[in-house]
Structure 1
Amino acid sequence: MGLFYNIFIASFVSIGSFLFGGIISSVLTFGRFQGYFGFDEASNLAGAVVSTFTGGCFFGAMGAGWMNDRIGRKRSIQIGAAFALWGCAMQAGANNFACLLIGRIVAGLAIGILSMTVPLYNTEIAPPKIRGFLVGLAQQLIGIGFIVANWVGYGSQYLDSNTQWRMPLGLQLVPAALLLIGTQFLPYSPRWLLEVGRDEEARQVVYQLHGVKTLDVSEAAEEEFLKMHDSIKAELLTRSRNVADLFATRAMRRRTLVACGVQIFGQFTGINVINYFGPQMYQTLGLDAGKTLLVQGIYGAVGPITNFFFIIFILDRVGRKKPLLLGSGINIVTFSALSAIVASFPPGEGTTNLVAQRAGIAMIFLTSIFFSLSFGPVSWVLASEVFPTGVRSMGTSLATCCNWAFNVLFSQVSPIAMKNIGWKFYILFVCLNAFDFIVILLFFPETKGKTLEDMAVVFGDEVNARQVLDEHKYADDLSQKHEIEHV
């Protein structure tokens, strides 16, 4: 019962990303959409439609750190869902370009909040042995969202009215509403409850997550709670809630650089260039508009299937570091091949080579497969699990901001770069993935199977929480004794 409950919670809170990222790649290709707002998918305005969303994500993630400390993970998820309803309604009902962009920004704020809070929440409720699986479920739901979005987009292209683009944008309201209402019935994070002094409620949540109804029949649940309690209470004695704390010691600097690095490296894989601008990439390989949406629909199914088997059977067994090395290494090969194919058979010159075309599509598909075997789930797991409780929300917020900052950059420049420099743009990702590989190999630790409280050992700043608490209690007792003697 405990395991099923953990899986249900992690799956449910992850539905916030369902549809939000992938639908725009199809909508941008619709003639009705382009005609209504007066641009094509290769224009600067197309980049603005994508980058305003990701810009909103950046600021949403930035504010979510403070929000998570103040009102908790559960309420932050609900606020993200409320923003999502607002933003998606504006997009679906937009009657001018300004309204569309404001809707994109507001929806971006929502996803920024959710993209930071959901992995954090899942990390804090997950048992150490299956933490990779539970946090990886967020990536799984993102992938399923892309599948649905791509096929909704493929079907919507045949509609002969503005419903062609309003309907797929409006469908995003459904998961947002489910999340807003359903999260009310989920538990608070027990670690946040301990931070704010609701200790007995935290104990009840821990037992609930273990599938135990009474508080006197599970030694494992009580042991986990006590270890969690001592560690968090010790951290609170020295906590300052200052961003500078993320860089205060050598161990904290390493934590911060690993968390921010893995999120940035996830963007260096080039996966979101494919997700947002896949149809344009397929057109550079010679496919017509109808076939590009069909291939994009098939492409969207590949990653989630791979991710599903990876988080269940592999991630918590092989750890975090090896998959990251595999992913960056494979991306060097795939983008090298893709750039060579596009350079050898440039579009618009009357050359149609079906073998080269299929090879190029295969490279794009392989990029998705190996992203789902590496950075897709691992980046969210690693970024949220390396920090101590006292700065976890702040650190996760900073790491997620790094993700969205580079997402904004690539979403803005990608359509321009693909139009103006073609295959040379793909060489950039060869170099970036080579850089990823070297940094991960030399500086990233392995964190699989460790409790969140054991990360101090991994990063070299081991603290005996019980000793700290005892010393603090001794100091309080000594102070009280001196006050009595003085009286």
Structure 2
Amino acid sequence: MGLFYNFSVALFSALGSFLFGYDSGVIGSIVSAEFDFFHAYFHSPGVSIIGAIVSTFAGGCFFGAAAAGWLAAHIGRKRTIQLGGLIAMLGCSLQTGAQNVSYLIVGRMIAGLAIGCLSMVVPLYQSEISPPGMRGFLTGLTQFMISIGFLVANWVGYGSQFIRSDAQWRVPLGVQIFPATLLFLGMFILPFSPRWLVDQGRNDEALAVLQQLHGDKGNKEFIELEFAEMLEQIQYEKENISTKISDLWSTKPMLRRTLTGIGIQVCTQFTGINVSSYFQPTLYADLGLSGSKVLMITGVNGALGAITTIIFIYFILDRVGRKPPLIFGAVGMAISLAVEAAINAKWGGVNNHAAQTAGVAFIIIFSALFFSVSFGPISWVYQSEIFPMRIRALGTAVCTCANWACNVLISQVSPIGMARLQYRFYIFFVVMNIMNGVVVFFFFPETKGKSLEEMDAVFGDQVIPHALETKQMHNVGVQDEKDRDSDA
């Protein structure tokens, strides 16, 4: 089936990422001042309650990501994605039918468990089904679908503000039940990760999946070499590497992998993106904008972000690598937020059209341009490709937990920070983006073009040769397959 099938599998599994983006985007609209029926129904919740409604979701995500590490290793990447879709159906249904704030928070906590699980396992699954030269693109579909989720959420929010009943907020919350159901059902026909199948001793199935994903008339040798490399590496890891959490820091190369994986996610959160994502209407209100225009601008920002992401992951990421875009994005976001702080300091809340236009433009440039060509897609690609197979699910789970732990912190304090510090709140993220660029420059290795099995050479713990590098196969299973082909 080849490339188109590979792309289709990666894109469909990213429905889990769509749910992540949609929920994160829609809550910003729902808690905004334009959703008056929401505020009336829940008796005008204060900033601390709003922060709890937003951050409780992220708290659930933390525990969902932690559980997904065990699930992905034991029941497989595919079944873990299905389980995430099933739990998302429940959590989204509870939010849609919420009768009070506690009911809503419980629904968001359950939905968060699902999204945390999916945010960890979807890019892991995508990375394990991708050929080395396209892994940035196919795993980067995670961020693209997050962007599409935000885009749909923003425009659903824009349209729903005109509904003059409690359906104003119930409809946008209920929309997410459909993709969750589609993900759960659709994953029945998608393949298991070939690397997980090899890890379970199901080698014939793994080879068949590889042929489905990567096969065409001209790359039979590549598939045989890739399969041989999987067998050799996973066999070695089974014999020499355990799956204890302490293995994440048991050697210097493993500690470097773990710190790098956690680092990319922590740096991503401290770009300030979730302040923009969750509270974007509030940022526009601080510039003096109000009414339906606020949610319309949010929708435009989402559309531009999705377009930028797909262009970047398709045309650029696998060509230029991981580090240069991260440094470029960090510098660009720091400059954007510094300009935004200056605009808010002098003209915030003032009816100055030029200042409002500039303020909106730099919020969009920050997220739709610089974030979308750097930490947005690369964070999911990077954390999913750096760990060896025996510890990959656990390592990816720890990194994703770091993401959600920071997310909880930032989403909880942001309403208070924006209310009390106003434009000064931007300065904190200016400093953090500068630090992000420094950390990436000095500590992050480049992983472009390497197979997942070749990451040991990148991190300095390679002990066996790689078939894709030596062009030699040492596995009996592959040789047997070649013999069967010749007999046929």
> Residue 486 of structure 2 aligns with which residue?
none
Secondary structure of 2:448's counterpart equals coil
Pick the aligned partner of 2:346 from 344, 347, 350.
344
**1:24 & 1:183 partners in 2: Cα distance?**
27
In the alignment, is the contact (CA less than 8 A) between 1:234 and 1:466 conserved in 2? no
Letter in 1 for 2:134: I
> Residue 27 of structure 1 aligns with which residue?
30
Secondary structure of 1:21's counterpart equals helix
The alignment status of 1:279 with 2:287, answered yes or no, reads no
**2:23 & 2:154 partners in 1: Cα distance?**
11
Aligned alpha-carbon RMSD (Å): 1.8
In the alignment, is the contact (CA less than 8 A) between 1:306 and 1:373 conserved in 2? yes
Displacement of 1:299 in angstroms is 1.1
Superimposed CA distance per residue, residues 191-249 of structure 1 (whole angstroms, 9 cap, x where no aligned partner) = 11111111121111111112369xx9922211111111100110011232111101111
Letter in 1 for 2:329: G
**2:304 & 2:272 partners in 1: Cα distance?**
16
Displacement of 1:254 in angstroms is 0.9
> Residue 360 of structure 1 aligns with which residue?
359
The alignment status of 1:99 with 2:98, answered yes or no, reads no
In the alignment, is the contact (CA less than 8 A) between 1:234 and 1:465 conserved in 2? no
- Could you tell me the TM-score, scaled by structure 1's length? 0.93
> Residue 334 of structure 1 aligns with which residue?
336
Question: How does 1:300-319 map onto structure 2 within 5 Å?
Answer: 300-319=302-321
> Residue 209 of structure 1 aligns with which residue?
213
Displacement of 1:466 in angstroms is 8.2
Superimposed CA distance per residue, residues 379-407 of structure 1 (whole angstroms, 9 cap, x where no aligned partner) = 10001101111111011001101111111
**2:274 & 2:304 partners in 1: Cα distance?**
15
> Residue 83 of structure 1 aligns with which residue?
87
Question: How does 1:55-74 map onto structure 2 within 5 Å?
Answer: 55-74=59-78
The alignment status of 1:415 with 2:418, answered yes or no, reads no
Displacement of 1:342 in angstroms is 1.0
In the alignment, is the contact (CA less than 8 A) between 2:17 and 2:122 conserved in 1? no
**1:443 & 1:220 partners in 2: Cα distance?**
32
**1:84 & 1:195 partners in 2: Cα distance?**
28
Question: How does 1:89-238 map onto structure 2 within 5 Å?
Answer: 89-211=93-215, 218-238=220-240
The alignment status of 1:263 with 2:265, answered yes or no, reads yes
Pick the aligned partner of 1:50 from 48, 54, 65.
54
Superimposed CA distance per residue, residues 340-366 of structure 1 (whole angstroms, 9 cap, x where no aligned partner) = 11111232xxx3221111111111011
In the alignment, is the contact (CA less than 8 A) between 1:39 and 1:46 conserved in 2? no
**2:274 & 2:306 partners in 1: Cα distance?**
15
Superimposed CA distance per residue, residues 305-356 of structure 1 (whole angstroms, 9 cap, x where no aligned partner) = 0001001100000000000000110111011111111111232xxx322111
**1:346 & 1:125 partners in 2: Cα distance?**
48
- Could you tell me the TM-score, scaled by structure 2's length? 0.93
Displacement of 1:289 in angstroms is 2.9
In the alignment, is the contact (CA less than 8 A) between 2:454 and 2:466 conserved in 1? no
Uncovered stretches (5+) of structure 2, i.e. residues with no partner: 468-472, 477-488
In the alignment, is the contact (CA less than 8 A) between 1:269 and 1:429 conserved in 2? yes
> Residue 7 of structure 1 aligns with which residue?
7
Secondary structure of 2:24's counterpart equals coil
Secondary structure of 1:342's counterpart equals helix
The alignment status of 1:383 with 2:383, answered yes or no, reads yes
Across the two proteins, how many residue pairs are aligned to each other? Answer: 464
**1:123 & 1:373 partners in 2: Cα distance?**
19
**1:22 & 1:358 partners in 2: Cα distance?**
22
**1:85 & 1:357 partners in 2: Cα distance?**
40
**1:110 & 1:61 partners in 2: Cα distance?**
8
Letter in 1 for 2:410: F
The alignment status of 1:440 with 2:440, answered yes or no, reads yes
Q: Which has the larger radius of gyration?
A: 1
> Residue 43 of structure 2 aligns with which residue?
38
Uncovered stretches (5+) of structure 1, i.e. residues with no partner: 474-487
In the alignment, is the contact (CA less than 8 A) between 2:453 and 2:466 conserved in 1? no
**1:346 & 1:382 partners in 2: Cα distance?**
38
**1:465 & 1:113 partners in 2: Cα distance?**
34
In the alignment, is the contact (CA less than 8 A) between 1:39 and 1:45 conserved in 2? no
Secondary structure of 1:427's counterpart equals helix
Runs of at least 4 residues off by over 6 Å: none
| Larger mean Cα displacement after TM superposition, 357-366 or 85-94 | 357-366
**2:245 & 2:54 partners in 1: Cα distance?**
29
Letter in 2 for 1:220: F
